[in-house]
């Protein structure tokens, strides 16, 4: 059986978690994306699809085969009660799928990308946690370029633990406010650390 180091990857909305995850993947990490698993849960055929469709009838695609994720997002960020109901369905499903994927992975370093890592308790699946942070001005500039208005950014941030607290709870931090070159250097340094941590646990 492959000896694996499981690293939870989290951070605030718009901090650049996915781009950091991709760079670790390029170095050889197996990346498990919790958001992708959650997105797949909203398609016909997933074990929790019918429960989600009942909860958000108005966001069911006319084809009946998937949910309109943007509409679901609008509803849950405006209605905390609905968000909690959705989380009760989605989180246990995502947790089990992540566990399965970790067990099936043949990589020595497995990165589990979960925006709500601490909020959901998913950090207990991980040996170490890495938080990606980003200066608020730079983050807002990047998100504006991606089409997110400031009020939506604020609503999403309110639904998450503060980035500063995520950083305090983490074993490692990457500040993604700097240049791509500096971020890459930091990723390479941490990759060497992860590889050596894996060896020390064997």
Q: What is the pLDDT of residues 31-90, one digit of tens each?
A: 999 999 999 999 999 999 999 999 999 999 999 999 999 899 889 888 889 999 999 999
Place of tokens 């040996």: 127
Interior CA angle at 196 toward 192 and 199, to 5°?
145
Three-state secondary structure of 129-148 = EEEEECCHHHHHHHHHHCCC
Distance between CA atoms of 103 and 124, rounded to whole angstroms? 15
The arrangement of secondary structure in 5-29+107-201, i.e. its CATH architecture, is 3-Layer(aba) Sandwich (3.40)
Query: Could you tell me what percent of the chain has a pLDDT over 70?
Result: 98
Extended beta strands in 70-185, E state: 109-113, 128-133, 172-175
- Kindly report, as residue ranges, where domains of CATH 3.40.50.300 are found in the chain: 5-29+107-201
**pLDDT score at 1:** 64
**Can you state the percent helix, strand and coil of the chain, rounding each to 5?**
60, 15, 25
Q: Is the pLDDT of residue 10 over 90?
A: yes
Place of tokens 């504006």: 144
Average of per-residue pLDDT across 151-159: 80
**pLDDT score at 200:** 63
Distance from CA of residue 40 to its chain's centroid? Answer: 14
Q: How does pLDDT run across 174-194, given as a tens digit for each residue?
A: 999 989 999 999 999 999 999
């Amino acid at each position: 059986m492959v000896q694996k180091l499981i690293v939870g990857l989290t951070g605030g909305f718009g901090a650049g978690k996915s781009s950091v995850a991709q760079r670790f993947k390029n170095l050889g990490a197996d990346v498990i994306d919790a958001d992708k698993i959650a997105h797949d849960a909203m398609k016909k055929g997933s074990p929790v699809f019918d429960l989600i469709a009942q909860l958000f009838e108005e966001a069911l695609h006319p084809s009946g085969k998937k949910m309109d994720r943007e509409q679901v997002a609008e509803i849950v960020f405006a209605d905390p009660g609905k968000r909690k109901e959705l989380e009760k369905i989605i989180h246990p499903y995502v947790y089990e799928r992540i566990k399965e994927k970790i067990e099936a992975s043949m990589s020595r370093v497995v990165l589990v990308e979960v925006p709500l890592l601490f909020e959901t308790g998913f950090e207990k699946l991980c040996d170490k946690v890495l938080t990606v942070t980003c200066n608020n001005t730079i983050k807002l500039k990047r998100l504006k370029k991606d089409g997110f208005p400031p009020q939506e950014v604020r609503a999403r941030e309110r639904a998450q633990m503060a980035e500063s607290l995520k950083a305090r709870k983490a074993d490692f931090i990457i500040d993604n406010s700097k240049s791509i070159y500096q971020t890459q250097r930091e990723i390479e340094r941490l990759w060497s650390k992860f590889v050596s941590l894996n060896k020390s646990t064997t």
